[in-house]
Amino acid sequence: MNAPAKIQETKAEQSLNAQFDAILAQTTQNNANQRKQAWDAFKAKGIPHRRVEEWHYTDLRTKMNDAFALASKTAPKAEALTGATGLETYRIAIVNGRYVPELSSNQAVAGLTVTEADGFLAAQLGTDDAMAHLNQALVQGGVTIKIDANATIERPIEIVRYTDGTEVSSYAGTSVDIGSGAKALIIESFEGDANAAYQSNALTEVKVGNNANIHWLKLQVESEKAQHIETYSVELGAQTNFQHFIYNEGSSLSRAQLFLEFKGEGTHAGLRGTSLLKDSQHADITLFVNHAVPECESREYYRAVVDDKARAVFQGKIIVEPDAQKTDGQMMIKSLLLSDTAEINAKPELEIFADDVQCAHGSTTGDIDEELLFYLMARGIPEAQARKILILAFLSEAIEEFEEERSVKLLEAMIRKWLHADDVVSE
C-alpha cells in the first residue's frame, strides 16, 4: 500500500494559503469563482521549482523564502513616483496593484481610454503557469487600456507599477487592447522603494489588431531586493509590427515570461532585451513564441552583461505549427561575462512542425575582447573607460534594433548611468 508522497508546503506556500483565504473573504461572489479557479490551478502546481522544466534555472521554491503580506492600498507621494523615463508621457499609475487616478495623467487623449479594473483577465492563452495563476488568485486590481482602431498616440503611454512598502507583495492585472491600424509607444516600468524587499507579480494581457505598429518598452528597475515576476500574454493580428524590449536592471530575482501567439498572417514581432546584472542578481527571460499561422517573422535577440556572482537566464521556445509555412524565426542570445563567477544559462529551442520555414538560433558567451580593448587603449583611452565603451557598444547594438528613437536615447542614458560612464563621450 503506497500513500502518495505529499510534497511538504514551504513557508511561502503556507503564507499564500492564509492570504488567499483572507482576500477571498472580501471578494464578491462573481469574482470569487475566478479567484478559486486560479487558486486551484496554482495549488495543483505549487511554487515552481527546478524539476519543472520551464523553471529549471530559476528555482523559485528555494529562492522565495516567504510570500510577503498583500500590500495595502496606499498612494506614495507623487515625487516618489518619478517614473523612470523623464519623458513627457501619458501616465497610468498602478500602486500596490491598484490604479491610482490622482497620480495618473487626466487629460483626454483621442483614441485612448483607460479604465480602472478589478484585474481579472479573461484569456490567458497558453499560459498555464503557476505564477500567472497565482496572480489571478490574489490580484488586487488593475486597468484596462484601450487604443482605438487607426489611432496614433504621439505621446508615450507610460504604465508605472509601483510597489509601496517593505515586505509586501503586489499583484496587478493589466489588459491592453490595441485596435487595428493603431500606432503607439507603450513604456511600462516597475519600481518600488529603494532598498525595500518586496514581491511584485504582474500579469499583462496584450491584444493587437491588424496593421498596427506598436513599440513596447519594459523597464524593470525594481528595488535591488525585490522579487519580480511578469507574465505576458500577447496575441497579434495580421500585418502588424510589434516591437518589444525588456530592460532588466533591478530586482534580486526577476522573471519575465512572454507567451506570444501570431493570430494573423504577415506579422513581424521583434522581441529584444538587455539584462544588466551585478552582485547576486538573477534575471530570467523566458519566451514561448507560437507561430500558429503562415508568413510571420519573429526576431528574438537578447543580450546580457553579467558581473560579480549574478546570473542571467534565457529560455526561448519558438513553435512553428504545421500550417505556419513561410515562417521566419531567428533567435540569438549574446552574453558578456565580466567576472569568473558570473553565469549565463541560455536555452534556445525550436519546435518546427511545418516544412517550408526559415528558423535559426544561437548563443555566444564571452569576456570583453582583449583585441578591442588594446585598440582603444593604444589610442590613449584608459582601461576602465575602454571597458565601459565596449560594454556600451555591446548593448547599443541590441538597443538600436528596437528602432524607436525616444526609447533608444532613454535606454542608452540608463545604461550609462548603470555603468557610471559619464566619462564616455556621448554621440
Return residues touching another protein (CB under 8 A).
370-372, 374-383, 385-386, 389-390, 392-397, 424-427
Query: Which are the contacts of 106, defined by CB distance < 8 A and separation ≥ 6?
Result: none
Cβ closest to another protein, residue 27 vs residue 396: 396
- Using the minimum distance from each CB to another protein, give the nearer residue, 16 or 276: 276
* Strands 90-95 and 98-99, bridge-based pairing: antiparallel
* Run of H or E including 266: none
The residue among 102 and 427 lying less far from another protein, judged by its C-beta, is 427
Q: Report, in Å, the least distance between residue 412 CB and another protein.
A: 11
Rounded to 5°, angle at Cα 161 from 10 and 55? 35
Q: Which CB atom, from 383 or from 405, has the smaller least distance to another protein?
A: 383
Whole-number minimum distance, CB 411 to another protein, in Å? Answer: 13
Segments of 12-84 assigned E as strands: 69-70
Q: How far is the CB of 397 from another protein (least distance, A)?
A: 5
Closer to another protein by Cβ: residue 351 or 383? 383
Residue type, 215: H
Smallest distance, another protein to C-beta of residue 369, A: 9
- In the complex, the smallest distance separating the C-beta of residue 331 from another protein, rounded to whole angstroms, is 20
Nearest CB to another protein, comparing residues 242 and 301: 301
Residue 300 Cβ vs another protein, minimum distance, rounded to whole Å: 20
Q: How far is CA 74 from CA 94, 104, 113, 188, in A?
A: 10, 14, 24, 20
φ, ψ (nearest 5 deg) of residue 165: 125, 175
Return the number of the residue (143 or 381) whose C-beta is nearest another protein: 381
Cβ-based burial of 424 (10 A; exposed 0-12, middle 13-18, buried ≥19): middle
Which own/partner contact pairs does 82-88 have at CB distance under 8 Å and 24+ positions apart? 83/158, 83/160, 83/189, 83/191, 84/189, 84/191, 84/219, 84/221, 84/414, 85/156, 85/158, 85/187, 85/189, 85/219, 85/410, 86/410, 87/156, 87/158, 87/187, 87/406, 87/410, 88/155, 88/156
Cβ proximity to another protein, 56 vs 409, nearer residue: 409
The least CB distance from residue 114 to another protein, in Å, is 37
Q: How far apart are CB 219 and another protein at their closest, in Å?
A: 21
Residue 213 C-alpha cell reads as 505598429
Here the contacts of 126-129 (C-beta below 8 Å, separation 24 or greater) are 126/259, 126/261, 126/288, 126/290, 127/231, 127/233, 127/257, 127/259, 128/41, 129/48, 129/54, 129/231, 129/257
Q: Minimum distance from CB of 376 to another protein (Å)? A: 8
CB nearer another protein, residue 22 or residue 384: 384
Given a contact cutoff of 8 angstroms between Cβ atoms, the answer to whether 216 and 244 are in contact is yes
